[in-house]
Structure 1
Amino acid sequence: MRIVEATDAYSRHVRDVRRLSPATVRAYAADLADLAGSTGDVELSDIDLEHLREWLWRATKRGDARSTIARRTAAARGFFAWALEAGLTTTDPSLRLVAPKRGRTLPHVAAADAVGDLLDQLARTAAEGDPIALRDHALLEMLYGSGIRVSELCGLDLDDIDHDRRTARVTGKGSKERVVPFGAPAAAALDAYLVRGRPVLSARRDDGSALRAIFLGARGARLGPRATYEVVSRVLGPVVGSAVGPHALRHSAATHLLDGGADLRTVQELLGHASLGTTQIYTHVSSERLAATYRLAHPRA
């Protein structure tokens, strides 16, 4: 089997069988398409370890980040393990492929007071009744108030919200569902948007059909991750001081929870992390803040 045909089959496998997130499926498909292009679409059985090392070396010379190289390594390993199990090849050349160690990148975290001031300003703007302003206020309150991912926010439907308990049912990575709480400010912003903002946006749909999606775009369609990123970057960027997206609010929510005394397991469950190790990066962020405060305040620092 040619490698292009095999990589296309693997993309369908991770999408339909392993049910990885659409973003992961797209990333793996792009990585393996690049691998196929670099080898000239040879027979799958002709790929060896040197082909793979050459492929990663080219990506390194191109300036790809270590995290990207590590993801490409993971894509190749998963692909060849699947191909071996499926009987498409008799060897797995990726077994000795070494991934670079990922650099530790601390997330952007906005100060709690700055986020609070920003959300208060959005509330004042939304009070004037503009449907987009009402949506943007509810959107940022939900991202910060619940710590959910942007894909989870965009996937929210009307019946996913329990208004009495102030919880949302979200579908995370691997199609895993969990229920997350959100606070009174987010509940108030969401209610205002659903009553005064969403009906106006919903009425703008060209085909007149009704959507169950909570967050809608200016023309009434479900709001997508890219549009959400643009909203958050426009609003939150001046506060953080750099180009940031919805994940910055997730990082900030997690860090502020730990700063406020929440235990690590609770934050892990709230964020939907499969591994506690993923959540532990936020303890490092909090420790950095503690150390900075100590250096400023302690006479013997």
Structure 2
Amino acid sequence: MDLARALKEYVAYLAVERGSAANTVEAYGRDLARYTTYLAQQGITQPAQVTRADVEKYLQALSSIELASSSIERAISAIKGFHRFMVAEHLCTSHPALDIPLPKKPDRLPDVISLEQAAALLDQPFLQTAASQRDRTILEVLYGCGLRVSELCGLDLQQVLLADEVLRVYGKGSKERIVPIMGTAAQTLHEYLELWRGGLVHPNASHASASAVFLNARGGRISRQSVHSIVEKYGRVAGLTGLHPHTLRHSFATHMLQGGADLRVVQELLGHSDISTTQLYTHVDRTHVRMVYMGAHPRAHS
């Protein structure tokens, strides 16, 4: 089996046997298509032909086009997984990428908005139309529950359990978690479902779309791109230029920690498999505490 065929088998393995998220499968497939194309240009078409030197030359080529370290890290992870799969399937005996290190991640804190900015975003006036009330609900749920955009777009009616004040959310790798929804977010979602969602339903919509919580103007499931545009639009009105949906997720986590939530609880709410990912938000929280201290303590400035 050549590399091109092995790649197709690996992508199918990720989607079916590993149950990887669709976005992950697509990104890995794209990264590995570029990798196998490069190898083919070097005359390498069989799994057993690939050496560590070949992998290193490819990664040097990626670095030369100034890809972000996160993109290179994902490419390395994809290559490692691909070669591990080929060894397991007995397509070759060696793993040329086994001990290639991942690039060091830069220490970059996530973007967050303040409590005042969150209030300005969510308390702005919304039109009494189905589309505007849908937009308002999207903002409330993103900030109130800390969902990823893909999780929000994939939310179905049967996953909304307002009587129990929870959402059943399917995150990365189709892992299910229970997320509380209370207060303004719960009230807004209830009003949207009872009063406004029906105005977006289209009689010719597919069965899959009919079960979606958030619908577009044609009655289909709303897309990630549309949610990005909605968040940016209302952010701009509130004076928050370039607001991103993930910023609302970051802000949810940071404001929870500022309010005294336990780190493990926030990890569970966000659906992080590794606590170290959640710990990044403690750095943001410490930055907030320092700013408050500097502004409030009479002897904070020498």
TM-score, normalised with respect to structure 1:
0.93
Partner of 1:294: 293
1:101 to 72, 94, 104: 104
Cα deviation, residue 10, structure 1: 0.5
Partner of 2:89: 86
Cα deviation, residue 44, structure 1: 1.5
Cα RMSD (Å) of the superposition? 1.7
CA contact (8 A) 1:169 1:180 kept: yes
Residue identity (%): 37
Rounded to whole Å, the distance in 2 between the matches of 1:45 and 1:134 is 57
2:78 to 56, 61, 75: 75
Partner of 1:63: 66
CA contact (8 A) 1:108 1:240 kept: no
List alignment gaps of at least 5 residues for structure 1: none
Partner of 1:183: 182
Partner of 2:126: 125
Q: Residues 242 and 4 from structure 1, CA distance in 2 versus in 1: closer, same or farther, beyond 3 angstroms?
A: farther
Rounded to whole Å, the distance in 2 between the matches of 1:240 and 1:73 is 39
Rounded to whole Å, the distance in 2 between the matches of 1:208 and 1:174 is 25
Rounded to whole Å, the distance in 2 between the matches of 1:237 and 1:51 is 47
Q: 4+ residue runs of structure 1 moved beyond 4 angstroms? A: 207-210, 237-242
Partner of 2:11: 11
Rounded to whole Å, the distance in 1 between the matches of 2:92 and 2:142 is 45
CA contact (8 A) 1:119 1:140 kept: yes
Give the letter aligned to residue 109 of structure 1: V
Q: Residues 68 and 10 from structure 1, CA distance in 2 versus in 1: closer, same or farther, beyond 3 angstroms?
A: same
Cα deviation, residue 82, structure 1: 0.9
CA-to-aligned-CA distance 1:153-188 (integer Å, 9 cap, x gap): 111111111121221111111211111111221122
Rounded to whole Å, the distance in 1 between the matches of 2:239 and 2:249 is 13
Give the letter aligned to residue 126 of structure 2: T
Rounded to whole Å, the distance in 1 between the matches of 2:236 and 2:276 is 28
CA contact (8 A) 2:137 2:189 kept: yes
Rounded to whole Å, the distance in 2 between the matches of 1:30 and 1:105 is 26
Aligned length: 296
Q: Residues 46 and 173 from structure 1, CA distance in 2 versus in 1: closer, same or farther, beyond 3 angstroms?
A: same
Cα deviation, residue 96, structure 1: 2.6
Give the letter aligned to residue 37 of structure 1: T
Q: Residues 97 and 238 from structure 1, CA distance in 2 versus in 1: closer, same or farther, beyond 3 angstroms?
A: farther
CA-to-aligned-CA distance 1:206-265 (integer Å, 9 cap, x gap): 458671111000110011212111111222256574423211111000000000110101
CA-to-aligned-CA distance 1:100-133 (integer Å, 9 cap, x gap): 1111221110111111122111xx314xx21110
Rounded to whole Å, the distance in 1 between the matches of 2:267 and 2:12 is 30
Give the letter aligned to residue 151 of structure 2: E
Partner of 2:192: 193
CA contact (8 A) 2:205 2:220 kept: no
Cα deviation, residue 55, structure 1: 1.1
CA contact (8 A) 1:141 1:186 kept: yes
